[in-house]
Amino acid sequence: MPAISARLTRREVAVGGLTFAGVFALVTGAGAWNMRAVSDPAVTVLGAGDRLSVLVTDGPARLLIAAGSDTSAFGNAWAQALPPLIRRVDVLFYSTDDRDAAVTSKALRDTRPRYSFPLAHPDSDREQSVARWERAVSLSEKTVVSLTVSNVASGQSEPQPPMWAATIAHQQTRVVFLSEPSAASLASKEPISALVVSRGAPDKIAVSAAVIRPRAVVANAESANGRDLRQHLTKVVEEGIWTLGVHPGEIARLEFVAGGLRLPTSAIQIRASATPKADAAS
């Protein structure tokens, strides 16, 4: 097992581990902008109604995973995520859940992606018991986004939308983005700095956090009240972690820094010790 070190402060969460390998590289065209919002590697979480979307940036490369129920909320969040003249993305992955159709349509129009992919298995239907689809995109030599999508037959009369998990790895730091708490089974088994859940009730999110054991949990404030989430987390997580809620129309920027992530100052740590300390395990 690789060595894991953690340094917890109000501003940073640091986790070390193995470097994740990409499947193919995305090469974007020209242009370096002297704007921190674009050039620095980061994960920006967008409130899009009852779901969250995620924008991954590193240098000029931009990848968006779009989901949500409210086009106005998504539009307001998107307006804050990038400067007006450079809101085109290189790669767009979009939810195929019917409840997200309006937001994904808006994302396709507004972001004008070079490449777009539905979050569904390309060669299977929803009748199959299990169908998995995996893809990885390298935004740079240091940043890789890996997606796993699973179509699972639920036994219900109506077919259920696929569930998915995205692992965003920058060197040894990883952020996992889940479509729902039950998608935790699809997530990377490597140490995780932050867990972002697109939609889910507080108790279900806490269960997924117990499986993944991140240093921070980011939830949709529309479907997961912050106080309720912290109460459920204290029941299943042994060590203090950070929580952050993102409201519709708002964004939260998780910045990759040396050895970990920088969280917004609105993040709240639960069950924290008085003095942050570094721990190591092997």
Write the DSSP assignment of 30-93 as a string of letters: S-----HHHHS-EEEEEE-SSSEEEEEEETTEEEEEE--S-HHHHHHHHHHHS-GGG---SEEE
* 196 compared with 40, residue with greater pLDDT: 196
- State the pLDDT confidence band at 222, using cuts at 50, 70 and 90: confident
CB-CB contact of 179 with 164 (8 Å) = yes
Tell me the C-alpha distance between 223 and 32, whole Å: 38
Convert the pLDDT of each residue in 71-84 to its tens digit. 999 999 999 998 88
Convert the pLDDT of each residue in 99-121 to its tens digit. 899 999 999 999 999 999 998 86
Retrieve residue 143's tokens: 């940043």
* 28 compared with 151, residue with greater pLDDT: 151
Q: What share of the chain is helix, strand, coil (3-state, %, to 5)?
A: 20, 35, 40
Retrieve residue 44's tokens: 């920006």
pLDDT of residue 6: 31
- State the pLDDT confidence band at 37, using cuts at 50, 70 and 90: low
Least confident stretch, 103-107, 158-162, 269-273: 269-273
* pTM as predicted: 0.81
Q: What is the mean pLDDT of residues 224-247?
A: 86
pLDDT higher than threshold 60 for residue 22: no
Q: What is the mean pLDDT of residues 24-36?
A: 38
Least confident stretch, 111-115, 148-152, 236-240: 236-240
Tell me the C-alpha distance between 41 and 280, whole Å: 26
* 236 compared with 89, residue with greater pLDDT: 89
Convert the pLDDT of each residue in 165-183 to its tens digit. 999 999 999 999 999 999 9
